[in-house]
């Protein structure tokens, strides 16, 4: 087994592109679920409309890069409003049902044959990221130190990505330590109590849905730009559920929970992948072949999530006392 490669790819995963984009998606979920108590199971849709908003604006409409970003963000805000108006007045479960269905509808529209001219069907869209890489201040070459070495394109994506993660965390931190955040957390506990104290609960839930959706949309941009393409099936329901796993792993309603959760999630995923493929190739494991390694590692993720919920439901940063009061 090639231990150096296994360990170096694992270490790289701690700050890699997947970590960044899932951290952003999870920060959004944390705003929805962790702080506000909104069960948004359609985070992938927010990422998708942002990624496709950028891609279609640039490739199909020929608009500049920055306009594409604006279109993507506007699409995420619009999606939040459309999802929120009918559901936010109802119980939390309805939002869960509507968001998961809406996310699938959006994915299927993007991959449909009827709209192939616009969204590119199941192949998706590519060739929209030149505007982004034109801004790259790093000349061609390798950057970093030790195992953390990336080429100039990835370096640029990571720098921008981590700046976005830091900004998102800062905004969440400021908001959640303000009276606004107090109302949001109170809504998670009991909406009627908050209404009886003169706060417009619907408006706050809508603001939260938009904020978390827009942060998730940033993850959609990072995906599109890092891989220079968007495909519909990247934005399936499992993307949303990975984000939920990350939030619970890091600890819900903690500012840095999703970031650390995302790092651990991807380090473990890459490490298990490396170890299993290495072991299969070296003949230590004979009951599966190398193509089965991919599904098996997600199977292990599921087992890990179950164990986590049993033994440490508050996550890494969580406070166990808070879980004890959650008698609903």
Partner 1 sequence: MHADTTTTGRKAAALAAFKDLARDPGVPKPDPILVVDNVVRRFGGLTAVEVEHVEVQRGSITALIGPNGAGKTTFFNQLTGFDTADSGQWTFNGSSMNGVPPHKVARSGMVRTFQLTKALSRLTVLENMRLGAQAQKGESFWRALVPGFWRQQEDEITQRAEELLVRFKLDAKREDFAGSLSGGQRKLLEMARALMVQPELVMLDEPMAGVNPALTQSLLGHVKDLREQGMTVLFVEHDMDMVRDISDWVIVMAQGAVIAEGPPDTIMSDARVIDAYLGAHHDAPLSDSELEEQLHQAEAALEAEIEEETQK
Binding residues vs partner 1 (CB under 8 A):
171, 174-175, 178-183, 185-186, 188-190, 192-201, 207, 211, 321-322, 324-327
Residue 170 vs 309, nearer CB to partner 1: 170
Work out how close the CB of 183 gets to partner 1 at its nearest, in angstroms, rounded to a whole number: 6
Residue 2 vs 189, nearer CB to partner 1: 189
Residue 140 vs 326, nearer CB to partner 1: 326
Work out how close the CB of 112 gets to partner 1 at its nearest, in angstroms, rounded to a whole number: 36
Q: For every residue of 235-285, which 3-state class applies, written as one string?
A: HCHHHHHHHHHHHHHHCCCCCCHHHHHHHHHHHHHHHHHHHHHHHHHCCCC
CB within 8 A of 137, min separation 6: which ones? 156
Work out how close the CB of 192 gets to partner 1 at its nearest, in angstroms, rounded to a whole number: 6
Work out how close the CB of 327 gets to partner 1 at its nearest, in angstroms, rounded to a whole number: 8
Residue 176 vs 275, nearer CB to partner 1: 176
CA atoms within 13 A of residue 270's CA, in its CB half-sphere: 22
Residue 126 vs 199, nearer CB to partner 1: 199
CB within 8 A of 166, min separation 6: which ones? none
Q: For every residue of 128-167, which 3-state class applies, written as one string?
A: CCHHHHHCCCCCCCEEEECCEEEEHHHHHHHHHHHHHHHH
Q: How far is CA 64 from the centre of its chain?
A: 25
Q: Which helix (H) or strand (E) holds 95?
A: helix 92-111
Work out how close the CB of 257 gets to partner 1 at its nearest, in angstroms, rounded to a whole number: 15
């Amino acid at each position: 087994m090639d231990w150096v490669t296994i360990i170096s790819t694992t270490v790289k995963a701690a700050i890699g592109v997947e970590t960044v984009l899932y951290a952003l998606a999870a920060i959004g979920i944390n705003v929805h679920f962790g702080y506000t108590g909104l069960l948004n199971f359609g985070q992938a849709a927010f990422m998708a409309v942002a990624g496709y908003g950028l891609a279609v604006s640039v490739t199909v409409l020929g608009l500049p890069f920055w306009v594409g970003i604006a279109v993507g963000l506007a699409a995420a805000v619009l999606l939040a409003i459309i999802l929120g108006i009918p559901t936010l007045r109802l119980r939390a479960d309805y939002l869960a049902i509507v968001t998961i269905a809406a996310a699938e509808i959006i994915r299927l529209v993007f991959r449909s044959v009827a709209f192939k001219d616009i969204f590119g069907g199941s192949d998706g869209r590519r060739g929209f990221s030149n505007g982004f890489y034109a801004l790259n201040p790093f000349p061609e070459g390798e950057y970093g130190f030790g195992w953390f070495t990336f080429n100039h394109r990835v370096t640029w994506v990571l720098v921008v990505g981590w700046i976005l993660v830091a900004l998102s965390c800062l905004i969440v931190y400021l908001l959640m330590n303000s009276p606004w955040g107090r109302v949001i957390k109170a809504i998670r506990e009991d909406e009627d109590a908050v209404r009886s104290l003169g706060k417009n609960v619907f408006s706050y839930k809508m603001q939260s849905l938009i904020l978390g959706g827009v942060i998730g949309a940033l993850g959609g941009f990072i995906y599109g730009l890092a891989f220079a393409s968007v495909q519909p099936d990247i934005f399936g329901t499992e993307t949303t559920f990975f984000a939920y796993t990350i939030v619970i792993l890091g600890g819900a309603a903690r500012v840095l929970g999703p970031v650390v959760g995302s790092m651990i999630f991807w380090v473990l995923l890459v490490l298990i992948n490396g170890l299993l493929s290495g072991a299969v190739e070296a003949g230590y494991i004979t009951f599966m072949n190398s193509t089965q390694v991919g599904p098996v590692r997600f199977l292990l993720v599921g087992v890990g999530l179950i164990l986590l919920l049993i033994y440490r439901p508050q996550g890494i940063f969580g406070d166990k006392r808070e879980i004890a009061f959650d008698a609903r």
